Structure 1
């Protein structure tokens, strides 16, 4: 039992909570453990995306598939994130977690939000094209910008596809490099329990139980709304795609626990890509949908943005008419996009939203800074599940997902050690993971 990664991560989380509660100062000092684990994973993410996306596109039967998958992906993202925004807006209006606080915005310390305001201004000054097109390829990889790396990977994959037989050697090198990177990821994942311990000890030690009690209603509302969104919305979509939600969550339980501990979805991106491919999603679909979803399909962040915006309005007695709330929703449709799945990115998006909307006081963000890390734990989990479901849906939409085979994988014996052992073995990325419609002839 203790040999399984999920059991080790659970022990790490429990130990982190215990240490953070009883020895908060020591718990805060454990922060480097969590940060180091995340950095170890992040140093490989861009390279994993490059190998997966470029090789997947190079081996597609037709480049038309690339455009078709991209369009379907963006349509799905826009529909689901809009639904998440609306749900957060409705719940905040019904439960009204900010009522009764009666806070005067003039008494709030605006210095605490100055960092987020400056970052929001920088983000607002950049156009979408400036954000997605890097100044240099090396810079995109060095800064870990997923969108910029994804753009270069797609272009590189298209070039390999056009070169056809002449790109066989280079494709083989990229394939073997990808396999080597995944071996490194598996080695790093052995440190996940330690990373989860450090991150959780820091969270509990830094913010304590008192902060949770002060803004407990907002936390309860957000957690409850997130759970309902997962069960009702993502569960329904998942069943339509032919996969039960509970078996899928059980299949991804180790990744969910790691995200819970580290509060960022980036810590599991390479491993999540590999698991979805093994579930039956084609490599090109996984490579296009999942990294793009880390910026454009943040369901948890969408719920967070609407609920916290209305919470601040209610806490500061700022009345919003129906028209003003619709205006807020329109602003959120833009500002909720572009995050990178990193802890704290949603606070920048919230600051940009309130600054653009110009009705709710931006200083009100100081009310939730103390609990943002707590909110971010479930926010990251919703983001991860939403992107996993999105990948399956787009693969099913493309007619390239065998739901029956996936159900057999999910219904297999629950010995996750066997799955992890299989994940550490090299897998033929076309023959084993990619349906015939997506595969070109393999190089000899």
Structure 2
């Protein structure tokens, strides 16, 4: 009885139970499941309101205490190089798998008969995106504007600039740094309170997904779903697992360490819902605060491994389903374009789908109307994308910390060696 009570006190167990209950509610009572969406949205909004101050405080305090501008630049360069390499590998893996499994072959869809009105919102958003607007949007209009909009990259830019400025002030800035650090500690206390609602948010998110789209949508595009989930699993175990093992740390123990965050993301389809908690966990594990503050939030924009897998897989799937022939050269061109567009639509709601619409609109090689085929199952596809993105950015933070000498290996090994029952909730 004591063991069961201790097990049920773990958030990841509560979230898992909530996901199962939510799935049953959505399956048996679809109208109730659909009506639960505000609970999931409310939980995500509670977390999002805390993101800007957490990122700001973490980066400013980390850089100010580091006091080395060259180290900040070194970490940033390593992170961007890592993100580009891993994103390219993810795109290539998706492209190879979709050509091997051919999930869209045999569907014989006539693109001219598809109603593209449902795509109007996505294509409009896609037209607004681009590399240049994306880069300019990193600069906030005012100091307060970045926090008001919750724009992650804008907050990071301001945090780096202010952190460098505070670091140059020397000992005089110590009271200010300590005050920000104390404020950050208080914010994390709030995060702990909000995370108690994680089971409610995850269960409501699953109930809404199944209640709105139903199991029938899964069966209709089962080949695509299986292809994406299998590819994502392969990428996580082989590629990300290889990166983690290169740091000298056990990969499966690390997955167990972030299991709560994985389950929450699975239920809510939002990686932002666990960002504050994940930052705190990685610091507790032994990653230096400046590395966590710089790499993890930036990775949410530049290192969407799951989204990259989805982009190449979904693009070729639509071509296969509509009998659109793509030569090797065509696919390589798509790959090259996706290397740019996968970054240019970051921060947009439904970024994966918007990026896909932008890519197809640019190339004209694959009918944009074919995206209608994906609308019914995009939420299910998003679960695989979000979880892969989460694991990818978590591994990236640990790896870059290790390579920069900013990871306490003894502390990391000790943390990962703990039994799940001993973890504090």
Decide which of 375, 380, 388 is 2:386's aligned counterpart: 380
Aligned to 1:169: 175
Q: Give the C-alpha shift of residue 404 in structure 1.
A: 3.5
For 2:333 and 2:348, how far apart are their aligned partners in 1? 27
CA distance 1:327–1:125, change in 2 (3 Å): closer
Aligned to 1:432: none
Matched, 1:260 2:258: no
Aligned to 1:26: 32
Q: Give the C-alpha shift of residue 170 in structure 1.
A: 1.3
Matched, 1:37 2:43: yes
The answer for unaligned runs of 5 or more in structure 2 is 1-6
Q: Give the C-alpha shift of residue 403 in structure 1.
A: 2.6
Decide which of 185, 188, 208 is 1:202's aligned counterpart: 208
Decide which of 3, 14, 32 is 2:9's aligned counterpart: 3
Aligned to 1:245: 251
Aligned to 1:419: 424
Aligned to 1:431: none
TM-score normalized with structure 1 length: 0.92
Decide which of 81, 101, 109 is 2:87's aligned counterpart: 81
On the 8 A contact 1:264/1:342 being kept in 2, the answer is: no
On the 8 A contact 2:146/2:155 being kept in 1, the answer is: yes
Aligned to 1:131: 137
Aligned to 2:74: 68
For 1:59 and 1:149, how far apart are their aligned partners in 2? 19
The answer for unaligned runs of 5 or more in structure 1 is 421-444
- Report the RMSD for the aligned CA atoms in angstroms: 1.3
For 1:201 and 1:342, how far apart are their aligned partners in 2? 24
Decide which of 317, 324, 329 is 2:330's aligned counterpart: 324
TM-score normalized with structure 2 length: 0.96
For 1:157 and 1:219, how far apart are their aligned partners in 2? 44
Cα displacement string for residues 402-439 of structure 1 (whole angstroms, at most 9, x for unaligned residues): 333311111113225x423xxxxxxxxxxxxxxxxxxx
For 1:60 and 1:339, how far apart are their aligned partners in 2? 32
- Which moved further from structure 2: 124-133 or 226-235? 124-133
Q: How many residues align?
A: 419
On the 8 A contact 1:294/1:339 being kept in 2, the answer is: no
For 2:73 and 2:276, how far apart are their aligned partners in 1? 23
Q: Which runs of 4+ in 1 moved over 3 A?
A: 338-343
Aligned pairs (5 A) from 1:171-320: 171-320=177-326
For 1:290 and 1:296, how far apart are their aligned partners in 2? 10
Aligned to 2:398: 392
Q: Give the C-alpha shift of residue 340 in structure 1.
A: 4.8
For 2:304 and 2:87, how far apart are their aligned partners in 1? 7
On the 8 A contact 2:131/2:340 being kept in 1, the answer is: no
For 1:359 and 1:339, how far apart are their aligned partners in 2? 20
For 2:365 and 2:345, how far apart are their aligned partners in 1? 23
On the 8 A contact 2:115/2:369 being kept in 1, the answer is: yes
